[in-house]
Amino acid sequence: SLRGVRTLSHADLDGDGLPELLVADGWHYAYGEHGDARLMAHLGTDWTQTRPLAWLPQNYSIRDIDVETIRGRTAILLTGSHDVYLLTPDGLGWAQERLGKIDETGNAVFIKTQNGPAVAISGQPVQYIELALP
C-alpha cells in the first residue's frame, strides 16, 4: 500500500470467477497532512498485480467500500472522509462520479426505490441520489 490500509473488500470485477482484492490505502496517522484516499485493485490468483481504480481528491481516506451488481453492471460505492463517490466501468476503465458530501462519521449505502437503484447518504437531511445506470 501507499501509506497504510484503511479498509478492504473483494469482488469479481472482471467476470473471471476470481475475486479481486479492493484496498483503500493511503491511510496515515497524520492523515490531515499525508492521507491520500485511493482505491487499488489487486488482481490474479495471488493478488500480486495491482491497478489503481480511483483517487478521491479532497479526502484523506476511504472509510467504506460497497460493491453491488445493478442492472447487470458492477457499481462500487466509496465513502470518503468528506465525499461519496460512485465508480462504474466504462470503455477506459472506471468512471468516477462524486455523488455528494458526507460528514466524517456518516454512512452511505445502496438502496432500492420504486424508481430504481439509488444511494442514501446520511445527514440532516438524508440525501437520496437516483442512479442513472443503463
Q: What is the pLDDT of residues 119-129, one digit of tens each?
A: 999 999 999 99
Helices H / strands E in the chain, number of each? 1, 11
Q: What is the pLDDT of residues 25-74, one digit of tens each?
A: 766 566 666 667 899 999 988 888 889 999 998 888 899 999 999 888 89
Q: Which residue has the higher pLDDT, 58 or 133?
A: 58
pTM exceeds 0.85 for this model: yes
Residue whose C-alpha cell reads 491497478 in the numeric block: 51
Instruction: Say how far residue 37 (Cα) sits from the centre of its chain.
Output: 10
Four-CA torsion 92, 11, 54, 29, nearest 10 degrees: -160
How confident is residue 92, by pLDDT bands cut at 50, 70 and 90?
confident
Residue 132 has what pLDDT?
A: 83
Give kind and range of the element (H or E) at residue 69: strand 62-70
Nearest to 65 by CA among 104, 30, 31, 110: 110
